[in-house]
Structure 1
Amino acid sequence: MQTNLIRLAILVAILGLWELASGRLVAEFFLSKPSAIGGVLLRWLSSGDLFFHAAITAFEAFVGFLLGAAIGMVVGLILGRAQRLAAILDPFIMAFYSLPKLALAPLFILWFGIGIEMKIILTATICFFLVFLNTYSGVRGVSREMIAILRLMGANEWQVVTKVVLPSAITWVFAGLRISVPYALIGAVVGELMAANRGLGFLLSSSAGDFNTAGVFAALCAIVVLAVLLNWGVSMAARLAMPWQQNEGRREFSM
């Protein structure tokens, strides 16, 4: 409770200083004001524009995130278990990983058009590599002794994966998922900035084109709130998938 009060006090202080400094120390054109930004948000809320555009961006980010994460987990698990195949594909994977994914956006526009499909595929491509590398590292880091013991007990590959590999690597997987959340939004918003007539990225570029600084900050605030909600969703999923971590945290706190 005390921590939350301190955070709230810091936020209020920042907004208060911002409100006072804008127009006095710094031109309002460059920083706008919290009051003006709040006015834009209220106007978008009352007209329904904010919910409309936020829902589109959330859909693009969420579907792209799920698609990229699912493929990344499957490929990471397969290559983590198939050492020879991973060694063969390693230079190709590293080459694609080193390529800035946002640089693919113009190519995706040519391939898939400017519709919602392009934003979803761009987001999925970005999330794939983050989840894949974490899953692959987690699978490769599983105790070889435990796998050897299961093999001696007659376990097949499916039993090894479900009983040892996945439970051991799940922490790595969720670490990759958490890292991917902001990048999912980056993919969706950048796609909208490049070619879209709807979404939070469109609101952002439209406000910038009108030299509406308050609108730009309002769109950024909406993107931040959406990112927080997506992070919260991943955290809830992690608690459900790894309840033992929550119990361990409670025991440490009680000690």
Structure 2
Amino acid sequence: MATDIHLPASGAAPTSAASRRVAEERRRRLTIWVARAALLVAIIGIWQFSAGRLISDFFIGRPTEIAETLWRWAASGELFFHGGITAIEALLGFLLGSALGMSVGIVLGRSQMLADVLDPFITMFYSLPKVALAPMFILWFGIGIDMKIYLTATIVFFLVFLNTYSGVRAVSREQIAILRLMGANERHILRKVVVPSAITWVFNGLRLSVPYALIGAIVGELIASNKGLGYLLANASGQFDTSAMFAALIAIMILALMLNTAVRWFEHVAMPWKSVESRREMSI
């Protein structure tokens, strides 16, 4: 008497395991967001309780007053106007500095002779505190938006350049030699090997540069400006308005978070294979 034996589909077990891992990853992310929210609520609660009781609110302000200040600035449009000015300065300086840093990094990375010649000059300029250049930039470019953009670009340039240069120098010499044997010229080598291999290094530099781009814009506004979040911060400091100072700092942090998110999104678009690799690792 024959007995029917039903075997499970070959892909059923791996698919089930992958589904469980995806569900576990979702629960983990939800737990992280809940923990973050709880931590934020706890910090604000302790802050609100301490202000005026344990520590004078003249020094730390009150979260309720900070929220009122932010709401007042948002309702009047002042927050978006000054935040937009700072965002433009940081973004344009970031783009300019990144473009120059990547270009110079690729050129010097592919020309060891030129890199050796320029190495001491690059080291000297990199070691120089970029904030010290602000008075010179004011002298050269005035106190307008141009000065903040160029100062920001100078700060961003070195971070992107060093990462790009390191990425280009780390490219496999065997791959380049094989391409040359196949008749590839420098343009083919850059497009097929150098840029794809160094792009991870480049994006590391870009991520590191985002907060420094904002620092450049804010420092320029603190030194000489009547617009931007740095101006709001300096104006609040001049009036000894602690709540307004914290409100300006919170606005700066929110802007930094938005810029970081934009860079991460662009990295996801430029390197889609990283998301595929992450999903593949999750399914193993």
TM-score (norm 1): 0.99
1:8 to 31, 37, 42: 37
Alignment of 1:203-222 (within 5 A): 203-222=232-251
What is the DSSP-based 3-state SS (H/G/I as helix, E as strand, rest coil) of the residue aligned with 1:154? coil
Within the alignment, does 1:87 sit opposite 2:113 as a pair? no
Larger radius of gyration between Structure 1 and Structure 2: 2
2:262 to 233, 247, 253: 233
1:160 is matched by which residue type in structure 2? Answer: I
1:254 to partner: Cα distance: 2.0
What is the DSSP-based 3-state SS (H/G/I as helix, E as strand, rest coil) of the residue aligned with 2:107? helix
1 CA distance for matches of 2:277 and 2:47? 41
1:153 to 155, 158, 182: 182
2:50 to 8, 18, 21: 21
Instruction: Tell me which residue corresponds to 2:202.
Output: 173
1 CA distance for matches of 2:283 and 2:34? 23
1:251 to partner: Cα distance: 1.2
1 CA distance for matches of 2:157 and 2:197? 20
Alignment of 1:94-105 (within 5 A): 94-105=123-134
4+ residue segments displaced more than 6 Å: none
2 CA distance for matches of 1:17 and 1:63? 39
2:191 to 154, 159, 162: 162
Instruction: Tell me which residue corresponds to 1:45.
Output: 74
1 CA distance for matches of 2:273 and 2:75? 44
1:22 is matched by which residue type in structure 2? Answer: A
Instruction: Tell me which residue corresponds to 1:129.
Output: 158
Query: Percent identical across equivalent pairs?
Result: 64
How large is the Cα RMSD of the aligned pairs? 0.5
Q: List per-residue Cα deviations over 1:176-218 (Å, max 9, x = no partner).
A: 0000000000000000000000100000000010000000000
Within the alignment, does 1:66 sit opposite 2:95 as a pair? yes
1 CA distance for matches of 2:279 and 2:115? 39
1:54 to partner: Cα distance: 0.2
1 CA distance for matches of 2:73 and 2:108? 47
Gaps of 5+ in 2: 1-29
1:247 to 257, 272, 276: 276
TM-score (norm 2): 0.89
1:198 to 200, 212, 227: 227
